[in-house]
Every structure is written in C-alpha cells, then in structure tokens.
C-alpha cells in the first residue's frame, strides 16, 4: 500500500511536469510572449532580495545545546533562533539567563524552552500541587526574562515501541510507525495502573486551570505538543492529545492564547486530517504557539505511517507555509526530523537535539528547504 501510494505521488508529479513542459512547447510565439508577460507581472516588484523576515514573521529555529562550535554550525546554515530544554524546576531569572545569554553571545535567540518534571500532575498523584507551583513560578520567571514560549507534553507514556527504520531514496534512512508491532503492552515499571481517558482529561483540566492564568499574566504562551505517535493507547494508558477533536477540546478548557498548541503538519496528516484545516482552526483562534514543519506518508491514520523527506510526502508544504504567513504567526518554526544520510553516518556529529544524534547535512537540507519556502511565500 505504501509503495503504491509513494509510486502514485511520484508518477503524478512527473506527469504534471511533462504536461507543463508540453504545454509550454506547444505555445505560439505570441501566446508564449503573453504567458511570460503574465508571469513577470505576477512577481511582486517591491520585494528586495535577499528576503528577510521581521519580528512579526515566523522564526525558523532548531534545537541546540550550548556548545559554541555547535552554535557556529547553526549560524552557518542561517539559523538565528533556538529551542532548548529548560533548567531544573523551578526556573528562575538567573537560571534562565545563564542559558539564554550563552546563545545571545553567539547571535542566537532562545524562542522556546521545553519542560517536564511534573509527572505527579499528569498521573493525578499526591504532590501534584507542589509540582504545579514549580511550573507557575517558572512561568513568572520566563515572563521576566522575555522568554515567549514554554512547550510541554502530557503523556502518561509515549508510544515509541512501534517505530522502526525504513529505507528511502538512495538508501537514505526514514522512520516508520506501525501500532500493530507493539500494541497492548502493559504499563512500564513505576507507572502504576493504566490511566483512563477520563482520568487524563481530569488531570489536564486541573493542570491548565492552575497554570494558564499565571502564564497569561506573565506574558508567556504555553504550547502543548500533540501526542506523537498519535496512537489510541500507549502501554495501556489513554492518549488524550491524539486527535483533532482532542486539540479542539484542549484549547476550550481555558480560553486564552496562553493555552495553545504546537501545530505539527506531520502529525495532522498522520491522524488522517487535512493539515490546512487544522492550521486554520487553531491559527484563526490564535492558539498556535509553536510549529513543527515536516512531512509523512500515511497508510492507516494514527496507526501506520512513514516520516519522509519534506519533498516526498502527502503534506502540501508550500500551502502550509503560505497559510502560516497569512495567519500572521510570529513564533518558532521548527523544520524537524531530518532523514539519515550516508554522509552523516560517515561524519558523525551534527546539529540536533544532542551532539551527534542527527547529521549536519540532514539538518542543512531541512533548514534550506524551510527557508526557501519562507522566501518563496514572502515573494508572492
């Protein structure tokens, strides 16, 4: 099924290209001149190259650590904004600035920090109020130092068991998911009884009602990443951030732009939704506080799919980028999940979440593709 779908996508693209060339060659001289004139007139004449992006535009970013040579690699491929993990809870102005200032010295701005460390709140266990206070204090500190976004997950368990390596063009590595490979697994040690959907929704509601008012007052946006993989259960625990209806429900729990989502066009397609519909729903309500930009081919929504090169998947990446700009989004835009390339295997140590865990050429491809899309959209 996957090969048929991939073959169809590639053959359709080839047929479209042939038809386009054939149509052009079939024009008379006057027709071709008229077409060229129309094409020229469609290009905005007020665009000055190189196209750059002001403070009210999306900000392409990558994950980084604080190694100076690592930051240098990021700057060389045109990255100016950073996502990174936050310090130990509770965040303080001092602990945040110690991280942010290291990047600032190298010309990089931290636009998003991720946090965890509140498992008792997720499981609804004794001590959750103390954990929530740590998040509240961290939000206050983030607001004081000008950190715009705090990103987080709300899993009782993340289903990574169904991932497996697959092979793409030229032998490059891709990553696939099949729920059938590992479903119905018991809870992992220490996780306790399986969390039901009702319990998870109650715990998330309790958490959001406690932290979002603090975030809003601090001027910080919280960004909840969808469950990825978006399977129904993980080690017997319900997954409640796994469908479009879930996301709609989440942003209604507390009516505030600080209660937002990480929009992921790849996950949107993984669950069988139209990524543009998801983008418009969340974006028109000002509930997109971070963006993951990537592509997939889906065989069975939510259960079986392959993460592919940006130019090979089912998501119309240009349309997604176009509408991101149309919506006026201005926070982080992360071209994530690079593919495994032979050159990077031969030269380990790249630009990723940790040194060596992703290849520099893989990330360079993602960044170049993303920036080209941004410049193209800005030239329309």
Going residue by residue through the chain, which has 380 residues, state the pLDDT in tens, using 9 for 90 and above. 444 455 444 444 444 433 433 443 444 444 444 444 444 445 677 888 899 999 999 999 999 888 899 899 999 999 999 999 999 999 999 999 999 999 999 999 999 999 999 999 999 999 999 999 999 999 999 999 999 999 999 999 999 999 999 999 999 999 999 999 999 999 988 898 999 999 999 999 999 999 999 999 999 999 999 999 999 999 999 999 999 999 999 999 999 999 999 999 999 999 999 999 999 999 999 999 999 999 999 999 999 999 999 999 999 999 999 999 999 999 999 999 999 999 998 887 655 444 444 688 999 999 999 999 999 999 98
pLDDT of residue 328: 97
237 bridge partner residues? 234
Whether cis (ω within 30° of 0) applies to the bond prior to 46 is no
Positive/negative CA dihedral, 317, 320, 321, 322: positive
Dist. CA 9–CA 314, nearest whole Å: 8
Interhelix angle 128-145/197-218, rounded to 10 degrees, is 30
pLDDT of residue 66: 83
SS3 content of the chain, % helix, strand, coil (to 5): 45, 15, 40
- CATH class as words, domain 48-378: alpha beta
Query: Looking at residue 195, what DSSP letter applies?
Result: P
Query: What are 210-214's contacts with CB under 8 Å, separation 24+?
Result: 210/132, 210/136, 211/132, 211/135, 211/136, 211/139, 212/254, 212/256, 212/258, 212/259, 213/254, 213/256, 214/136, 214/139, 214/140
Where in the chain are the domains? 1-42, 48-378
pLDDT of residue 11: 44
User: How many angstroms separate the Cα of 93 from the Cα of each of 84, 117, 140, 218, 328?
Assistant: 16, 19, 9, 13, 30
């Amino acid at each position: 099924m996957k090969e048929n779908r991939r073959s169809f996508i590639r053959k359709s693209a080839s047929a479209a290209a042939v038809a386009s060339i054939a149509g052009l060659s079939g024009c008379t001289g006057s027709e071709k001149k008229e077409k060229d004139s129309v094409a020229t007139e469609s290009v905005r004449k007020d665009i000055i190259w190189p196209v750059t992006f002001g403070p009210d535009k999306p900000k392409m970013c990558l994950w980084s650590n604080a190694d100076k040579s690592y930051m240098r690699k990021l700057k060389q491929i045109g990255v100016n904004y950073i996502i990174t993990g936050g310090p130990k809870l509770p965040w303080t102005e001092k602990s945040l600035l110690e991280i942010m200032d290291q990047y600032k010295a190298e010309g990089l701005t931290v636009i998003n920090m991720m946090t965890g460390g509140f498992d008792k709140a997720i499981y609804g266990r004794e001590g959750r109020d103390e954990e929530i206070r740590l998040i509240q204090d961290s939000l206050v500190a983030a607001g004081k130092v000008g950190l715009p976004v705090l990103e987080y997950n709300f899993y009782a368990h993340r289903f990574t068991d169904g991932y497996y390596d697959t092979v793409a063009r030229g032998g490059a590595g891709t990553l696939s998911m099949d729920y059938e490979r590992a479903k119905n697994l018991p809870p992992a040690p220490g996780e306790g009884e399986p969390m039901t959907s009702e319990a998870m929704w109650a715990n998330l509601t309790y958490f959001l009602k406690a932290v979002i008012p603090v975030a809003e007052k601090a001027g910080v946006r919280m960004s909840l990443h969808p469950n990825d993989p978006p399977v129904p259960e993980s080690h017997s625990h319900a997954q409640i951030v796994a469908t479009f209806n879930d996301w709609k429900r989440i942003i209604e729990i507390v009516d505030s732009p600080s209660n937002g989502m990480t929009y992921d066009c790849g996950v949107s397609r993984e669950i069988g939704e139209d990524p543009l519909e998801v983008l418009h729903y969340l974006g028109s309500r000002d509930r997109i506080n971070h963006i993951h930009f990537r592509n997939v081919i889906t065989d069975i929504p939510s259960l079986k799919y392959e993460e592919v090169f940006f130019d090979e998947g089912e998501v119309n990446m240009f349309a997604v980028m176009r509408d991101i700009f149309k919506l006026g989004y201005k926070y982080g835009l992360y071209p994530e999940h690079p593919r495994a390339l032979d050159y990077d295997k031969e030269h380990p140590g790249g630009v990723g979440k940790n040194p060596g865990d992703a290849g520099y050429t893989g990330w360079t491809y993602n960044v170049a593709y993303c920036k080209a899309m941004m410049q193209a959209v800005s030239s329309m």
